[in-house]
Structure 1
């Protein structure tokens, strides 16, 4: 147990990978997203996010069923059932990506999820599994896309549908995957070292095997970030007038797609707004 300066137990900072990433990316966006009340209006839906959500929920439905009931046709049907056209340029673009999503998910299920699949995933032990575990001065939380059991070890699987094809370095450097691995070990009480990024558009898997040193490094960085954002949050809640000094903007190219750019003059000046369909995989 950690003790505060007054000898009382210190408050554990609850963080998710998204909170940590937002803090490191732009502190103003962190405040606008997580702290301001009432919550400032956001930007409209983006096609890439819509597409990713459809693919994720379709795969959750397929992997949540018995292996004998899984099939490429069933996977494509799940995309149809969950489809949304929010954020796409027009009906034609939405129809194109709907068909692509059907193909991506069907091919993925055929390779990994049907009986006698050429690249079987192993036993699925978690789908959209909420993980929460105390680690030093923080409680790391988050929802893992999928957890597999392979030869008695848990493997963290994260689905990707964006433009960029991830590689093994991306998997190794991912703070989110490392925190999920650490939390899964605490929650499921079994080894968890391997993390994987499954990129549906390219059909590739980027994998990394963590060791104790690499996981400890991820944890140390996350704890440091959690301490910073926790202290800033406490100061802001005590005196909202410190907002500008504690939560400055970090203007740059990524401001083009920021969903709170309407509330940030520096962000609007840094980059013109991208259309809602920017970021779709080609």
Structure 2
């Protein structure tokens, strides 16, 4: 007997799996996207950057702080965790290392002093994954990513993202961040709990920049993500079919070429701006 079933002669469109970082990389520079995710063997990169090292140290210290019992989350313990996780890759010399290790210790200790750190986060460095789409009936994306911290406040989730860079963020930065918006959507789906508030916690200036997203905001961000993902997928398919890699994924020279980790493999970036030193993007210290 023939098996009964439904066949409408239409192949379902496969869901596109994306991360906010991957989408952002394509928007910034298609060439960098290609070299990061598609080119094999992997192109030559720069060495480590001090600002990335510093950010990782602070993130690791704060993550471990929230794994401790609430009574142990003191400013002194928080500062000590910076020493535990300290790394020196990318810094200029011992003097700079000492200055920034002390600055990071002070930032994290002050954070534990100025914020209520006794609550239990819903997630720490939590990986979330959710099927989303601008049309709920026909989702197009699987959005994934790792969130620094997810809080629960008054029955809703809050996305917390730590920052240690040179720029002091404002409400507009929190609101227009596609990554934070997509994390909010993914967290809400993962935990089946409303999530509309996103926050950037800038430790060097003790700034908390926050935004409350509306459903319309989040739909717009998801729609923009769908467009970027579809474009990147189409171009990747054309590349696989033998298309010109440089024509399909052109460079977008800008100031960021100075510190792009793929600069050694990108003549356009080298010509655009002089190379930055590995410590040039560190936030100034007092």
Shorter-chain TM-score bucket reads over 0.9
Partner of 1:125: 122
Find the aligned partners of 2:92 and 2:256 in 1 and give their Cα distance.
20
CA contact (8 A) 1:70 1:113 kept: no
CA drift of 1:242 comes to 2.2
- Segments of structure 2 that go 5 or more residues without pairing to the other structure are 1-8, 133-138
Partner of 2:265: 263
Q: What do you get for the CA RMSD once the two structures are aligned?
A: 1.3
Structure-2-length-normalised TM-score: 0.92
Partner of 2:140: 137
- Segments of structure 1 that go 5 or more residues without pairing to the other structure are 1-5, 116-121
Equivalent of residue 176 in structure 1, options 175, 179, 189: 179
Residues 1:24 and 1:246: Cα distance change in structure 2 (over 3 Å): same
Find the aligned partners of 2:128 and 2:238 in 1 and give their Cα distance.
28
Once the two structures are overlaid, the 10-residue window that deviates more, 44-53 or 31-40, is 31-40
CA drift of 1:114 comes to 4.5
Find the aligned partners of 2:193 and 2:241 in 1 and give their Cα distance.
41
Question: CA-to-partner distance for each residue in 1:82-107, whole Å, 9 max, x for gaps?
Answer: 10111011110011000000000001
Partner of 1:233: 236
Residues 128-277 of structure 1 aligned to structure 2 (within 5 Å): 128-135=125-132, 136-239=139-242, 241-277=243-279
Find the aligned partners of 1:176 and 1:256 in 2 and give their Cα distance.
23
CA drift of 1:112 comes to 1.7
CA drift of 1:237 comes to 2.1
Find the aligned partners of 1:33 and 1:199 in 2 and give their Cα distance.
28
Find the aligned partners of 1:14 and 1:196 in 2 and give their Cα distance.
25
Find the aligned partners of 1:244 and 1:31 in 2 and give their Cα distance.
9
CA drift of 1:216 comes to 0.6
CA contact (8 A) 1:255 1:267 kept: yes
Structure-1-length-normalised TM-score: 0.93
Query: What secondary structure is seen at the aligned counterpart in 1 of 2:103?
Result: helix
Query: What secondary structure is seen at the aligned counterpart in 1 of 2:51?
Result: helix
Q: How many residues are treated as equivalent by the alignment?
A: 271
Find the aligned partners of 2:53 and 2:47 in 1 and give their Cα distance.
11
Find the aligned partners of 1:213 and 1:124 in 2 and give their Cα distance.
27
Residues 19-168 of structure 1 aligned to structure 2 (within 5 Å): 19-115=22-118, 122-135=119-132, 136-168=139-171
CA drift of 1:171 comes to 0.2
Find the aligned partners of 2:267 and 2:58 in 1 and give their Cα distance.
34
Query: What secondary structure is seen at the aligned counterpart in 2 of 1:84?
Result: coil
